Amino acid sequence: MLLEVNDVSLSLRRDGKYSKILDHVSFQVNKGETVGIVGESGCGKSMTALSLMRLLPDKAKLEGSVELQGEKITNYSKRKLEKVRGNQMSMIFQNPLTSLNPLQTVGTQIEESLILHTNMSKKERRVRVLKLLNDVGLPRVEELIDEYPHQLSGGMRQRIMIAIAMACEPQLLICDEPTTALDVTVQAQILELMNEIKEQTQMGIIMITHDMGVVAEVCDRVIVMYAGKVVEEAPVVELFQNPKHPYTRGLLNSIPKLGQRKQKLGSIPGTVPVPENMPVGCRFADRCSHVMDICKSTVPQVTEIKENHQTACWLYDEEGGNKDATTGSNQSQTTLHY
Amino acid sequence: MDALRFIARRLVLMIPILFGISILTFVISNTIPGDPARLILGPKATPETLSALQEEMGLNDPLYIQYGNYMAGIFQGDLGQSTYSQRPVSEDLVRYFPATFELTMFAMVITLLIGIPFGIISASRKDKIADQITRVFALMGVAMPAFWLGLLFLLFFYLKIGMFPGSGRLDTGMSPPEYITGMYTVDALLTGNWPVFRSAVMHLVLPGITQAAITIGMITRMTRSSMLEVLGSDYIRTAHAKGGSENRVLYGHALRNGVMPVITLLGMAFGHALGGSILVESVFSWPGLGRYAVNAINYLDFPAVMGVTMLIAVMFILVNLIIDTLYFFIDPRLKHD
């Protein structure tokens, strides 16, 4: 196992009070595997990623443990963690337009990772940077290395970000909505590049996205998050064919499908609850069309549906005992009518 | 090449600005009630001599003719005759300007050495004790009137503990160094005259700090807010994600981005310091342009007032041109636009 996240909770200080952003999040990532984390805005996807990297604002309270290749990095000091960041564990961010330093050439910015984590000479570093630029599919690398970010397009800048992240051949790559800010054709190219890189390097990838299309394209396994909690986890095919949690079904229902022009696109009523005002029971209860009494009073436990497929929902809990719920589980649109 | 074209364009743009300033100053100084001719001749002058002098000075001509005559003179390097000192204004400016320039440069160096580090400390330790203290000092610097701060300094450092001299540019009895630039510290350095150098620096300290107080406050506050903005940006997060240490991120990535707006403000601060020299020079009896200007205004010495104003305007524009050019080399985005 490459990464093991156990009961990670995160509280951030807002207006003098701590509010819980993540609540006992647990999952694993294996070598060579791409794990998707999906959910609406504000459900804690990005905060999960930033917690792994510990790139959190001041006064953040992080609990639980994160183990990278058996090393418990949550215990690491700031100094020790700096040696891990960008070296064993890298991150790519959402907005490539603002994620690069405008005053440094792209070559300098890629080289910095090598300066920080390797003992390469200046010459070796240049060779390595040129190779990285080549690997991420950029043209005319010899000139590009001395150009500034503003001279490049969004897609090219995201490729530079990938080159920076890949510089020290990390075992784990965290991608926080890497294609959201790019236009569709460029998105496809970047996803293809990520798949290629994964095949070549056998590293683990965490792909954070709200785009189910991206999930289908690159992920092996998917974690669905809602309001700071993991609500469902399944292999990608299983999740698309047999979604269990009403929230997951809602997400899948909101994707337009070819040949269903007349049908109204599904949407989930309401919005994600704010951390300061979390419901006592299931956090999705207020928006759920299957809501039962127990949902509003008690937090549902994680239930195993079958091997590798788990969900936290009272519909599937023995004690919750609602047999109706299992009836229409084959196709998401058959049971739920939003 | 681009930089040269940029500078050339800016130099051409200076011309209309200077014309505007000259018209404005000329009109304003001529609307001040009072008759320079009467002031020169004194209360006992006869009406005949008065009107003769008025005629000679061109005071009876319409304003636009007077302005035309003045500008015609300027293009020949003639700034007119100072009615107070009885010398050509250009000669007076050459005599007094180096003292003011020396004081202002000294104040700017102090501003840079204190303002920027304070701003960085303040931003990197946001809301902690160091930040709070720095902010209070910066606010005090901005809010305190220069002449009052100058008087406090005089009372304490000069009269009470006698640590620094309180007036003039050199100790009494000391003769100025050989004239090269007119700035005593520089000239003393160039001629290797150490006692004079020491004395000149000591005399600079109190007026220099007084003049720098406001600009230090301005620069500290600007550096702080600009650094805070940069520290919250995405590329700083990228730098952390690469594994860069706190200091590496602060000085390697944030600083260069963060000082850019500060550099612009520095040009403004320079202008502020030049203008502020009038008060500071009066308090510390500094024989510079500021004191010359005060006397010129008191004696309705219009050519002198015009000369000082135009000189300060030219300096201000030149400094800002230098700063804009500097930008050109710091920010690669400008080169390609």
Tens of pLDDT along A73-130?
998 999 999 999 999 999 999 888 899 999 999 999 999 999 999 999 999 999 999 9
Is the pLDDT at A271 greater than 90, yes or no? no
Is the pLDDT at B335 greater than 80, yes or no? no
| Interchain contact B44–A (C-beta under 8 A) | no
Please give, one letter per residue, the 3-state secondary structure of chain B.
CHHHHHHHHHHHHHHHHHHHHHHHHHHHHHHCCCCHHHHHHCCCCCHHHHHHHHHHHCCCCCHHHHHHHHHHHHHCCCCCECCCCCCEHHHHHHHHHHHHHHHHHHHHHHHHHHHHHHHHHHHHCCCCHHHHHHHHHHHHHHHCCHHHHHHHHHHHHHHHCCCCCCCCCCCCCCCCCCCCCCCHHHHHHHHCCHHHHHHHHHHHHHHHHHHHHHHHHHHHHHHHHHHHHHHCCHHHHHHHHCCCCHHHHHHHHHHHHHCHHHHHHHHHHHHHHHHHHHHHHHHCCCCCHHHHHHHHHHCCCHHHHHHHHHHHHHHHHHHHHHHHHHHHHHCHHHHHC
Give the amino acid at A221. Answer: R
Give the amino acid at B332. Answer: P
Phi, psi of B150 (to 5 degrees): -60, -45
| Sole residue written with tokens 């000679």 | B56
pLDDT, position B4: 82
* CATH value of B89-287 in 3.40.50.720, 1.10.3720.10, 3.50.50.60, 3.40.50.1000: 1.10.3720.10
Judging by DSSP bridges, how do beta strands A172-176 and A89-92 pair with one another?
Answer: parallel
Residues 1-60 of A with CB under 8 A from B: 53, 55
- Kindly tell me the number of DSSP H helices and DSSP E strands found in chain A: 12, 12
| Contact state of B241 with A85 under an 8 Å Cβ cutoff | yes
pLDDT confidence tier of residue A180, bands split at 50, 70 and 90: confident
Question: Which residue from A95, A104, A112 is facing B244, i.e. has the nearest CB?
Answer: A112
pLDDT confidence tier of residue B302, bands split at 50, 70 and 90: confident
Question: Which residue from A102, A116, A148 is facing B242, i.e. has the nearest CB?
Answer: A116
pLDDT, position A50: 93
Cβ atoms B158, B261 nearer than 8 A: no
pLDDT, position A326: 43
Identify the closest residue of chain A to B254 by CA–CA distance. A101
Per-residue model confidence as pLDDT tens digits over B184-219 = 999 999 998 899 999 999 999 999 999 999 899 999
Residues 168-227 of B with CB under 8 A from A: none
> What token pair was written down for A75?
């215990």
pLDDT, position A338: 37
pLDDT, position B337: 58
pLDDT confidence tier of residue A26, bands split at 50, 70 and 90: very high
Across the range A238-255, mean pLDDT stands at 90
* pLDDT mean across residues, chain B: 89
pLDDT, position B31: 80
Per-residue model confidence as pLDDT tens digits over A278-327 = 888 899 988 888 888 888 888 898 888 888 899 999 988 765 444 444 44
Query: Which of A99, A109, A151, A162 to mutate against chain B (most B CBs within 10 Å)?
Result: A99
Query: Which of B125, B242, B327 to mutate against chain A (most A CBs within 10 Å)?
Result: B242
pLDDT confidence tier of residue B1, bands split at 50, 70 and 90: low
Query: Which of A47, A68, A112 to mutate against chain B (most B CBs within 10 Å)?
Result: A112
| Contact state of A116 with B243 under an 8 Å Cβ cutoff | yes
| Interchain contact A206–B (C-beta under 8 A) | no
pLDDT, position B59: 81
Per-residue model confidence as pLDDT tens digits over B89-141 = 999 999 999 999 999 999 999 999 999 999 999 999 988 999 999 999 999 98
pLDDT, position A257: 73
Burial class (CB in 10 A: 0-12, 13-18, 19+), A4: middle
| Interchain contact B333–A (C-beta under 8 A) | yes
pLDDT confidence tier of residue A261, bands split at 50, 70 and 90: low
| Contact state of A150 with B336 under an 8 Å Cβ cutoff | yes
Is the pLDDT at A332 greater than 70, yes or no? no
Per-residue model confidence as pLDDT tens digits over B14-55 = 889 989 989 998 888 888 777 778 777 887 888 888 888 888
A8–chain B nearest CA distance, Å: 20
Chain A residues whose beta carbon lies within 8 Å of the beta carbon of residue B333:
102, 148, 150
| Interchain contact A152–B (C-beta under 8 A) | no
Query: Which of A101, A105, A146 to mutate against chain B (most B CBs within 10 Å)?
Result: A101
How much of chain B, in percent, has pLDDT values that exceed 90?
41
Q: How far apart are CA A211 and CA A204, in angstroms?
A: 20
pLDDT, position B229: 95
Secondary structure letter of residue A85 according to DSSP:
B
B257–chain A nearest CA distance, Å: 7
| Contact state of A99 with B238 under an 8 Å Cβ cutoff | yes
| Contact state of A113 with B243 under an 8 Å Cβ cutoff | yes
What domains can be seen in chain A, in order of their start residue? 3-219 (3.40.50.300), 225-335 (no CATH)
Is the pLDDT at A30 greater than 90, yes or no? yes
Would you kindly state where each structural domain of chain B is located, as residue ranges? 89-287
Chain A residues whose beta carbon lies within 8 Å of the beta carbon of residue B248:
116
Question: Which residue from B237, B246, B330 is facing A55, i.e. has the nearest CB?
Answer: B237
> What token pair was written down for A145?
């290395």
Entry field: residues in chain A: 338
Task: Return all residues near A165 (Cβ < 8 A) that are at least 6 apart.
Answer: A86, A90, A91, A92, A173, B241
Chain B residues whose beta carbon lies within 8 Å of the beta carbon of residue A83:
243
pLDDT, position B102: 93
How much of chain A, in percent, has pLDDT values that exceed 90?
54
| Largest pairwise CA distance in chain B | 87
Note the ipTM here.
0.86
Q: How far apart are CA A157 and CA A190, in angstroms?
A: 11
Is the pLDDT at B162 greater than 90, yes or no? no
Residues 69-88 of A with CB under 8 A from B: 78-79, 82-87
> What token pair was written down for B333?
């985005």
Across the range B54-65, mean pLDDT stands at 84
Per-residue model confidence as pLDDT tens digits over B283-301 = 999 999 988 998 888 888 8
